[in-house]
Chain A
Amino acid sequence: MTALIPLAYLIAAVLFILGLKNMSSPKTAVRGNLLGASGMALAIGATLVDGRVGGYWLIGITLIAGTAVGLWLAQTVPMTGMPEMVGLLNGFGGVASTLVAFADLLQSDHQSIDTLLAIGLSGLIGTVTFSGSMIAFAKLKEYKQFKQPFALPFQTLINAGIVLGVVMLVAFMVTTQSFTIQVLCYLAIVALALVLGVFLVLPIGGADMPVVISLMNSYSGLAGAATGFVIDNNALIISGSLVGASGIILTQIMCKAMNRSLGNVLFGKMAGGGKVASADEVYANVRSTSADDIAMILDGAQRVVIVPGYGLAVAQAQHAVRDLAKLLESKGTNVEYAIHPVAGRMPGHMNVLLAEADVSYDKLLEMDAINPTMDTVDVAIVIGANDVVNPSARLDPNSPIAGMPIIDVDKARTVIVIKRSLSPGFAGIPNPLFAMPNALMFYADGQQAVLDIVRAIKAL
């Protein structure tokens, strides 16, 4: 019986891979998630029937407690709170790895060198994931104390010093023969890693949180894989590396979409250089408009593209936007949504918010899908987005955002920008789109503006 347990782990790992594979389309994704859950149930079941495991009542109680809390969290979280939720879960996974590695260290006072190394890495990665995720959680929750990026002087140097310290502690832990020193080293590693995680995320601004969450996702996977090396379990190694790879890919996508390197995000340096035109100069010929005028323009449009940005998610205007789209569609207009990779507060977040607002997923187009046909669009409505539609990225090679992938709304016949003011986006540069001859500004709160436009269209 015991010999079959590794086989069950293998099947679980295969189910995880199939589950992720099914995530390649919204049609099969639900099935994919169920496959993953089945794999997990199998892995847990196989572990429980392992004849050498004792103390079942403690295991039983804790399994039920964790399940109850997990269900409660998952059922009550609003879709807008998804980034915080994922951040929190990342942190829990990380700290679980730290605890398991510590428990394994305590169980035997003569571990082999590679196991000690894996224990050290588990403790390091797991703890950094935990403390980093908790800070990210606080930033995403927009607690006042954490809102502003905060960095000590010489932060990078301090971090490098901590990393060096951890490396030395790991080396010491692996080579020493004394059990007591090994335990002390482990505790010191965990303490340093706690501080390191905080220092790594504190200096990062709210706009860069999608990158941080992706990175923490990757770390939580790697922590799991390291724990797999500690207890010689292939199921952990496979799942951990799958998640690690997934997080790294998402991190790369986010960085590319923001036109920043990973180091650049982590060490808080904005893309330097580049001559920035003054806002007054750029915004000399901006024209503003009203809800009634917009209603007239939309009335004659064949194809309308809505470009939602971070601001729409913050204003929670997705339901109002859905109503506007439904109204236009009932008049025979073709309405689509163009989603930039960093439109929401985490990768793919905007898609979830629009899906929740009952928008069909085939209406949600990626940047690369919509850009080639942008010149056939009659009206592009930009809501709460700025940098991701800034044509400087394409036209001005000296701009700080030069080369950043953007949605080419400036090529549409008419662009309506709904925005509170002409204030710059996260990149801190003016947007020449607003002053283009085909652009109209509608200064208002995102949700109120859309409601007004709906009212104006109905009144036509």
Chain B
Amino acid sequence: MFQRVYLGVCFATVAFAAIACIATSAIAQDNLSSSAPKNGAASQVDASSPKIGASTAESTTISPDKSAVVEKPSNRLAVLIGSLTVFALAVFVGFEVINKVPPTLHTPLMSGSNAISGITVVGAILATGFGKFGFGSLLGAAAIVLAMINVVGGFWVTHRMLSMFKKK
């Protein structure tokens, strides 16, 4: 019972954040729209990884546009290689961890990992938020709904299944 409540709390947090979103947008819409950069994904990389190409002063500042990144191919390449490293290592971690899951839990594993793959919702939120209500925003909004169904449905149904596995 407690676990179901906890799962509910997790979702409620998101729902609360969502409501807070709606509320704040009414108040602070002007502030946000005035400072919204064109593409935050690229600038986020710049902001979060100042090590990369740290010798140049520009790379440590938040660049408002992806074009700034395109002009520095070596920086871009470093980011890509970093991402590929993470990808390769995560695949190995995945194989190690999943191989230890017993067959009896394969269905919950599948629905649970399915929920995790709904992490695309992060990308969907960013796309909606950066889209400035253009067509891109609408695409992002549709993606949020679909990915959120994946996330919430996946975790909830996994919990339903796992709570049936009991030893007597």
> A61 vs B47: C-alpha distance in the bound complex, in angstroms?
29
| Interchain residue pairs with CB less than 8 A apart (22) | A21-B100, A27-B167, A30-B162, A34-B7, A47-B125, A47-B126, A53-B126, A54-B33, A55-B131, A59-B129, A60-B20, A63-B14, A86-B107, A86-B114, A96-B124, A110-B70, A238-B86, A242-B94, A243-B94, A245-B90, A346-B107, A351-B105
From residue B63, how far is it (CB to closest CB) to chain A in Å?
12
From residue A282, how far is it (CB to closest CB) to chain B in Å?
31
Q: Which residue of chain A lies nearest to B9 when distances are taken between CB atoms in the complex?
A: A41
- Chain B, range 20-45, C-beta contacts under 8 Å to A: 20-22, 24-26, 29, 32-33, 35-45
- Residues on B with beta carbons closer than 8 Å to the beta carbon of A348: 103-110
From residue A162, how far is it (CB to closest CB) to chain B in Å?
24
- Residues on A with beta carbons closer than 8 Å to the beta carbon of B145: 62, 65-66, 69
Name the contact of A346 in the complex, choosing from B76, B79, B110, B149 (C-beta under 8 A). Answer: B110
> A352 vs B98: C-alpha distance in the bound complex, in angstroms?
18
> A230 vs B44: C-alpha distance in the bound complex, in angstroms?
13
> A232 vs B49: C-alpha distance in the bound complex, in angstroms?
11
A120: Cβ under 8 A from any B Cβ:
no
A235: Cβ under 8 A from any B Cβ:
yes
From residue A263, how far is it (CB to closest CB) to chain B in Å?
21
Asked whether A43 lies within 8 Å of B38 as measured between CB atoms, the reply is no
Asked whether A40 lies within 8 Å of B155 as measured between CB atoms, the reply is yes
Asked whether A232 lies within 8 Å of B155 as measured between CB atoms, the reply is no
Given A59-B21, A64-B15, A71-B11, answer yes or no on A92-B149 (Cβ-Cβ < 8 Å): yes
A residues bordering B, Cβ < 8 Å? 2-3, 5-6, 9, 12-13, 16-17, 19-21, 23-27, 29-30, 32-34, 36-41, 43-45, 47-48, 50-67, 69-71, 73-75, 77, 79, 82, 85-86, 89-90, 92-93, 95-97, 99-100, 102-104, 106-108, 110-112, 114, 213-214, 217, 220-221, 223-225, 227-247, 249-250, 253, 339, 341, 344, 346-349, 351-352, 355-356, 358, 360-362, 364, 366
Chain B binding surface, main DSSP class: helix
Q: A53-B128, A97-B120, A244-B91 are in contact. List 7 more A-B contacts (CB 8 A).
A: A41-B14, A54-B36, A100-B120, A103-B139, A108-B66, A348-B103, A366-B104
Asked whether B91 lies within 8 Å of A241 as measured between CB atoms, the reply is yes
> A225 vs B157: C-alpha distance in the bound complex, in angstroms?
23
> A108 vs B41: C-alpha distance in the bound complex, in angstroms?
11
Asked whether A339 lies within 8 Å of B122 as measured between CB atoms, the reply is no
Interface residues on B, range: 35 or more
Name the contact of A352 in the complex, choosing from B39, B134, B161 (C-beta under 8 A). Answer: B161
- Chain B, range 127-157, C-beta contacts under 8 Å to A: 127-137, 139-157
Given A3-B48, A225-B87, answer yes or no on A66-B116 (Cβ-Cβ < 8 Å): no
Name the contact of B114 in the complex, choosing from A21, A34, A103, A243 (C-beta under 8 A). Answer: A243
From residue B145, how far is it (CB to closest CB) to chain A in Å?
4
> A60 vs B161: C-alpha distance in the bound complex, in angstroms?
29
Asked whether B105 lies within 8 Å of A26 as measured between CB atoms, the reply is yes
Asked whether B25 lies within 8 Å of A107 as measured between CB atoms, the reply is no
- Residues on A with beta carbons closer than 8 Å to the beta carbon of B151: 40, 66, 70
Q: Which residue of chain A lies nearest to B139 when distances are taken between CB atoms in the complex?
A: A103
Given A20-B98, A70-B156, A85-B111, answer yes or no on A52-B37 (Cβ-Cβ < 8 Å): yes
Asked whether A56 lies within 8 Å of B22 as measured between CB atoms, the reply is yes
From residue A404, how far is it (CB to closest CB) to chain B in Å?
16
Asked whether B157 lies within 8 Å of A85 as measured between CB atoms, the reply is yes
Chain A binding surface, main DSSP class: helix
> A241 vs B97: C-alpha distance in the bound complex, in angstroms?
12
- Residues on A with beta carbons closer than 8 Å to the beta carbon of B133: 55, 58
Q: Which residue of chain A lies nearest to B91 when distances are taken between CB atoms in the complex?
A: A241
From residue B72, how far is it (CB to closest CB) to chain A in Å?
10
Given A44-B121, A52-B129, answer yes or no on A107-B116 (Cβ-Cβ < 8 Å): no
Asked whether B127 lies within 8 Å of A100 as measured between CB atoms, the reply is yes
Q: Which residue of chain A lies nearest to B118 when distances are taken between CB atoms in the complex?
A: A93
Asked whether A38 lies within 8 Å of B119 as measured between CB atoms, the reply is no
Asked whether B141 lies within 8 Å of A62 as measured between CB atoms, the reply is yes
> A41 vs B150: C-alpha distance in the bound complex, in angstroms?
13
From residue A310, how far is it (CB to closest CB) to chain B in Å?
14
Asked whether A23 lies within 8 Å of B94 as measured between CB atoms, the reply is no
- Residues on A with beta carbons closer than 8 Å to the beta carbon of B10: 34, 37-38, 40-41
From residue A149, how far is it (CB to closest CB) to chain B in Å?
23
Name the contact of A55 in the complex, choosing from B25, B66, B161 (C-beta under 8 A). Answer: B25
Q: Which residue of chain A lies nearest to B8 when distances are taken between CB atoms in the complex?
A: A71
> A25 vs B6: C-alpha distance in the bound complex, in angstroms?
20
Given A50-B40, A56-B25, A93-B147, answer yes or no on A236-B119 (Cβ-Cβ < 8 Å): yes
> A111 vs B80: C-alpha distance in the bound complex, in angstroms?
13
Q: Which residue of chain A lies nearest to B142 when distances are taken between CB atoms in the complex?
A: A99
B57: Cβ under 8 A from any A Cβ:
no
Given A59-B21, A95-B146, A103-B136, answer yes or no on A220-B115 (Cβ-Cβ < 8 Å): no
